[in-house]
Amino acid sequence: MTERTTLDAYLTAWAGADATRGAVSETIHALMGACTTIADIVGHGALEGAMGAATEATNAGGDSQKALDLRTHDIVVAALKDTPVARIGSEEADDEVVFDDARPLVVATDPLDGSSNIETNVSIGTLFGILPNTGEASFLQPGSKQLAAGFVVYGPATVLVLTVGAGTQVFTLERDSGDYVLTDADVAIARETKEYAINASNQRHWDAAVQGYVMDCLAGVEGPREKNFNMRWVGSLVADVFRILVRGGVYLYPGDDRSGYAQGRLRLVYECNPIAFVCEQAGGAATTGTERVLDVIPASLHVRSPLVAGSAEEVERVTQYYAEPPRRSPLFAKRGLFLA
């Protein structure tokens, strides 16, 4: 890009004199301060100590917590303590962190996404969604109420993917200055794709809709899709979705028949909703398979949800598989789902 636009300049122009936008802007700045600290810690790798060491603690979803999970939660909470944020809903805490309910905003966050990849030097990240404060039910608002959302990827470069409801922007951390610099404005996800991301090790547990969709993709040019697909899976939600923002694709983490996974593995409020907002603002889409993600009313802060997100055309196709699950073995079948 020829013109250097920092996150500060972008948010100042967006917020103007609007009080709510100003509060959102201040909150994003505080979050990015926390993420810069986390990026520095992650960048030290093993020199920082046993970041990936398991602890005896588990998070609200029952997942074991790594040392860096707990550390990043504390960093985010400390960064937001003196901001317009009234409450924080974090994956790493059973209960909400409550500061002051007179403040206008709440933040839902997964402070460290992809923690199973810490020790393997694979990209990990932070997710967040900013909502208006409505009191004790603040985190039970649908994702469509988000005022801003995004995620940070800690990889070879540290990048922020952000939407304030005015498109999706990508900022890259300039390490010398500490600024986040706009490097990709108004990102547009390709409508069509030949790439999908799913954890294929769970195939035997999938329902008929997902089985049919994936098998039709695997059938390649000889199958009903009549084109060859690539499958990619990093295992860090933020990394898989960032790849889709860059080159198109669709991400799937469906519910399955494993105990406790009927609604998938991801959490609606602080994982699926931020991803859905980012994708929609980039011209993509996000669904549970049967419902737009941003329309779902959360039953609780830590409720799980299936997620299919990315290229709009491919997301729509997956919803059609759910509406009419295949009644034939899809592998190598020339006749597609929508043919009699």
Catalytic option among 11, 31, 80, 113: 113
Express each pLDDT in 195-217 by its tens digit.
Answer: 999 999 999 999 999 999 999 99
108 and 206 in a common domain: no
113 is catalytic: yes
63 is catalytic: yes
Express each pLDDT in 107-129 by its tens digit.
Answer: 999 999 998 888 889 999 999 99
Residues that constitute the known binding site? 91, 110, 112-116, 199, 251-253, 271
Catalytic option among 195, 216, 256, 271: 271
Catalytic option among 7, 11, 110, 131: 110
Residues that constitute the known binding site for substrate? 113-116, 199, 251-253
Q: Tell me the three state secondary structure of residue 65.
A: strand
| ∠ CA 183-270-100, rounded to 5° | 100
Model-level pTM?
Answer: 0.93
200 and 138 in a common domain: no
DSSP state at residue 164: S
173 and 41 in a common domain: yes
Q: From the DSSP assignment, how many helices (H) and strands (E) are in the chain?
A: 7, 15
Residue 219 has pLDDT above 70, yes or no: yes
180 and 246 in a common domain: no
CA distances from 171 to 110, 151, 183, 294 (A): 19, 11, 5, 24
Q: What is the mean pLDDT of the chain?
A: 92
Q: Is residue 189 part of a domain?
A: no
Q: What is the pLDDT of residue 65?
A: 75
Catalytic option among 48, 63, 174, 184: 63
Q: What is the pLDDT of residue 75?
A: 98
Q: Is residue 338 part of a domain?
A: no
Q: Which domain holds residue 305?
A: 195-323
271 is catalytic: yes
- For residues 76-102, give the mean pLDDT: 97
Provide the CATH number for the domain around residue 272. Answer: 3.40.190.80
175 and 78 in a common domain: yes
Catalytic option among 112, 237, 266, 268: 112
For the chain, how are helix, strand and coil distributed in percent, rounded to 5? 35, 25, 40
Residues that constitute the known binding site for Mg(2+)? 91, 110, 112-113, 271
Number of compact structural domains in the chain: 2
Q: Is residue 329 part of a domain?
A: no
Q: Is residue 89 part of a domain?
A: yes
149 phi and psi angles, rounded to 5 deg: -160, 165
146 and 29 in a common domain: yes
Catalytic option among 11, 26, 31, 92: 92
The full DSSP string for 282-333 is TT-EEESSSSBGGGPPPSSTT-B--EEEE-HHHHHHHHHHHHS--SS--TT-
64: number of Cβ within 10 Å: 13
Q: Is residue 331 part of a domain?
A: no
CA distances from 237 to 86, 168, 243 (A): 27, 17, 10
Q: What is the pLDDT of residue 2?
A: 57
199 and 178 in a common domain: no
- For residues 122-143, give the mean pLDDT: 97
Which of the four pLDDT bands, split at 50, 70 and 90, describes residue 334? very low
110 is catalytic: yes
- For residues 159-171, give the mean pLDDT: 98
